[in-house]
């Protein structure tokens, strides 16, 4: 009989207009997570010059990036297919490292599918 590996989904939210910030909305997995894919979605896309960059980071360290999503003007969704493994009790949080020149975008949902 084949082993069935359930896939779970986790969501991390940032409400309102995005501003450069780090470490918001922390999540602490209680056991190792094998992340299969991720998706970042904005309710309202950024506008103007440049882009809005949102990272899922480990332990509040902006240089320890698990996933990076770049939203150019008019983009509301970024799919990330790279796999990642996170150990138990690693603090995962959202880091907004840059925002677009006109409007940064609003209401971020960073979701990822994983199994233990």
pLDDT band at 10 (very low <50, low <70, confident <90, very high): confident
How far apart, in whole angstroms, are the C-alpha atoms of residue 116 and residue 98?
32
* pLDDT the model gives residue 67: 94
Q: Is 80 exceeded by the pLDDT of residue 59?
A: yes
Place of tokens 């975008």: 105
17-115 adopts what CATH topology? Jelly Rolls (2.60.120)
**How do the domains of the chain map onto residue ranges?**
17-115
Reply yes or no on whether the pLDDT at 19 is more than 70: yes
pLDDT at residue 5, rounded to an integer: 66
CA distance 1 to 11: 32
pLDDT in tens, 81-113: 999 999 998 999 999 999 999 999 999 999 989
Instruction: Please give the Cα distance from 89 to 57 (Å, whole number).
Output: 13
Q: Could you tell me if 84 and 67 are in contact, meaning their C-beta atoms sit under 8 angstroms apart?
A: yes
């Amino acid at each position: 009989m084949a082993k069935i590996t359930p896939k779970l989904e986790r969501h991390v939210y940032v409400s309102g207009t995005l501003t450069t910030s780090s470490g918001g909305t922390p999540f602490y997995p209680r056991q190792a997570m094998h992340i299969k894919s991720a998706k970042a979605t904005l309710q309202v896309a950024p506008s103007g010059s440049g882009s809005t960059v949102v990272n899922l980071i480990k332990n509040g360290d902006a240089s320890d990036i698990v996933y990076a999503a770049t939203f150019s003007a008019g983009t509301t969704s970024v799919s990330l297919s790279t796999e990642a493994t996170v150990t138990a009790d690693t603090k995962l949080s959202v880091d907004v490292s840059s925002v677009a020149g006109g409007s940064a975008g609003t209401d971020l949902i960073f979701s990822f599918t994983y199994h233990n």
